[in-house]
Amino acid sequence: MILAEMKKIVYLKICVTSLVICFSLPASITCQVEENVIKTVFFQRFADFTTWPASSKIQDKSSPFVIGLLAKSNFSNMIEKTYSEKTIYNKHVKIKYLNNISEAEQCHMIYIPKLCSHEVEDLLAFTKDKPILSIGDTKGYGQMGVHINLYTLEDGIRFEINETAVKKSGLHISHLLLDFATIVTYQENK
Distance CA 186, CA 165 (A): 8
Distance CA 21, CA 44 (A): 16
Residue 124 has pLDDT above 50, yes or no: yes
Distance CA 80, CA 60 (A): 22
CATH class of domain segment(s) 2-184: alpha beta
Q: Which of 5-14, 90-99, 170-179 has the lowest mean pLDDT?
A: 5-14
* Strand partners of residue 135: 111, 148
Q: Which residues contact 156 (CB under 8 A, 6 or more apart)?
A: 23, 24, 25, 26, 27, 29, 30
How would residue 156 be classed by pLDDT, with cut points 50, 70 and 90? Answer: confident
Q: Which residues contact 3 (CB under 8 A, 6 or more apart)?
A: none
Residue 24 has pLDDT above 60, yes or no: no
Residue 89 has pLDDT above 60, yes or no: yes
Distance CA 20, CA 15 (A): 9
Q: Which of 12-21, 69-78, 89-98, 144-153 has the lowest mean pLDDT?
A: 12-21
- Helix, strand, coil percentages for the chain (3-state, nearest 5): 45, 20, 30
What's the whole-model pTM score? 0.82
Average pLDDT over residues 67-88: 90
Distance CA 141, CA 150 (A): 9
Q: Which residues contact 144 (CB under 8 A, 6 or more apart)?
A: 117, 120, 121, 124, 186
Distance CA 4, CA 167 (A): 26
50-66 confidence digits (pLDDT tens): 999 998 889 998 999 99
